[in-house]
């Protein structure tokens, strides 16, 4: 249905040639805009119905007082199913510290939350298939788990800003949620408006970049330079993702275009993870609560992890 809509607008209404670069780019753009935004609204609404009782305060309460391995597992899982983006990282970080949760566990949550979410997973299934979606989620969970362990080994407490330790957020009085169907419906609609309103520009930008890549970058050049045979293609993809700012949903159309052109799967996954969890704006936001040594260590741990994931998947492929 979405492919037919792209054909209708690009080749029927606009009269572009299917074999032309502009025709291929416009068809890709229209098809992915329709597909991703329909999936985006549906998935956010359904998950909003189920998640009406979840909040950052409840996430903190779930993790507090657990053994390290259990707290880390819950932090990674909750990070994967909660919609908190980089703009939420500072209050969440402060809340976790105030609750006495180990910093390694906190970093596991901060890695998982922007990189993995159920919206991106469902859209990945719809756009790229369940196998790639499963690989991305599995790799993200592993990076979040071991990335937090690596951070904890360096005792990052010494690099937390002094004011963070002095904050006492206390127990937030949580209003009783409206669990009626009407209340959940209102909450789900609010989730759709808030999340789509926050990310639609980045999704359109990602689709636009993917469309340009799909239509104008020759497949032969991509296969030669990014096909996976060169060791440096994966670290280059990780570095490329740092200055970009998008969430996991926004980078999916770029990944789709890369894969259709022959970019190796590990290189594509490395770029997706870097854009979602290692972007420069994300790091600058975290700088408000941790000092430069911790920030540099955080970036280095993630860059190494993403590179190893990319090399591993390229080797398997």
Q: Does any domain span residue 239?
A: yes
Q: What tens digit of pLDDT does each residue of 166-194 get?
A: 765 444 444 556 667 788 888 888 878 88
Backbone phi, psi, residue 160, to 5°: -80, 140
pLDDT score recorded for residue 247: 62
For the residues of 43-98, what is the DSSP string, one character each? Answer: HHHHHHHHTTT--HHHHHHHHTT--HHHHHHHHHHHHHH----GGGHHHHHHHHHH
Q: Which of 111, 132, 109 is nearest to 121 (CA)?
A: 132
Domain tally, the chain: 1
Q: What percentage of the chain exceeds 70 in pLDDT?
A: 79
Helix and strand numbers (H, E) in the chain are 16, 0
Q: List, for residues 201-250, the tens digit of each pLDDT value.
A: 877 887 887 788 777 877 676 666 666 667 888 998 888 877 665 666 66
Residue 263 dihedral angles phi and psi, to the nearest 5°: -65, 140
CA 299, 300, 303 angle in degrees (round to 5)?
85
Q: Which residue has the higher pLDDT, 128 or 303?
A: 303
Closest Cα partner for 26 from 45, 43, 10? 10
In a domain, 186, yes or no: no
Range in 51-65, 97-111, 131-145, 250-264 with the lowest mean pLDDT: 51-65
Q: How crowded is residue 171: how many other Cβ atoms within 10 Å of its Cβ?
A: 9
Domain membership flag for residue 248 = yes
Alpha-carbon dihedral of residues 305, 307, 313, 315, nearest 10 degrees?
-120
- Per-residue pLDDT of 25-62, as tens digits, reads 898 888 888 888 888 788 778 767 766 666 556 666 67
Domain encompassing residue 226 = 2-168+196-316
Q: Using the Cα atoms of residue 128, residue 129, residue 133 and residue 135 in order, give the sign of their dihedral.
A: negative
Burial code (b: 16+ CB inside 10 Å, e: under 16) for 197-231 equals eebeebbbbbbbbbbbbbbebeeeebeeebebeee
CB 276 within 8 A of CB 252: no
CB 297 within 8 A of CB 151: yes
- What's the mean pLDDT in 269-289? 79
Which of 106, 104, 74, 82 minimizes the C-alpha distance to 92?
Answer: 106
Q: 184 lies in a domain?
A: no
Concatenated DSSP letters of 250-315: TTHHHHHHHHHTT--HHHHHHHHHHHHHS-HHHHHHHTTTB-HHHHHHHHHHHHHHHHHHHHHHHH
Specify the pLDDT at position 170: 47
């Amino acid at each position: 249905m979405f492919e037919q809509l792209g054909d209708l607008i690009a080749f029927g209404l606009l009269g572009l040639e299917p074999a032309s670069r502009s025709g291929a780019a416009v068809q890709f753009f229209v098809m992915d805009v329709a597909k991703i935004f329909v999936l985006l609204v549906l998935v956010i609404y359904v998950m909003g119905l189920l998640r009406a009782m979840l909040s950052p305060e409840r996430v903190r309460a779930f993790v507090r007082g657990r053994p390290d391995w259990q707290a880390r597992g819950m932090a990674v899982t909750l990070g994967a199913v909660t919609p908190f983006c980089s703009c939420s990282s500072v209050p969440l970080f402060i809340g976790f510290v105030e609750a006495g949760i180990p910093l390694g566990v906190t970093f596991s949550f901060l890695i998982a939350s922007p990189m993995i979410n159920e919206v991106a997973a469902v859209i990945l299934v719809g756009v790229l298939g369940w196998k790639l979606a499963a690989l991305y989620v599995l790799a993200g969970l592993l990076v979040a788990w071991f990335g937090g362990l690596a951070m904890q080994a360096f005792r990052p407490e010494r690099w937390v800003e002094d004011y963070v330790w002095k904050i006492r957020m206390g127990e937030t009085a949580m209003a009783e949620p409206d669990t009626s169907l009407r209340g959940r419906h209102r909450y789900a609609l609010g989730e759709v408006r808030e999340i789509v309103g926050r990310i639609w520009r980045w999704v359109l930008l990602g689709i636009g970049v993917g469309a340009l890549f799909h239509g104008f970058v020759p497949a032969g050049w991509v296969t030669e330079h990014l096909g996976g045979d060169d060791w440096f293609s994966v670290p280059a993809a990780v570095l490329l993702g740092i200055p970009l700012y998008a969430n996991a949903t926004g980078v999916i159309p770029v990944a789709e275009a890369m894969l259709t052109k022959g970019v190796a799967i590990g290189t594509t996954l490395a770029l997706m993870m870097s854009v979602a969890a290692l972007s420069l704006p994300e790091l600058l936001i975290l700088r408000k609560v941790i000092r430069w040594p911790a920030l540099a260590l955080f970036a280095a741990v993630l860059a190494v992890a993403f590179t190893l994931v990319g090399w591993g998947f390229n080797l398997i492929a």
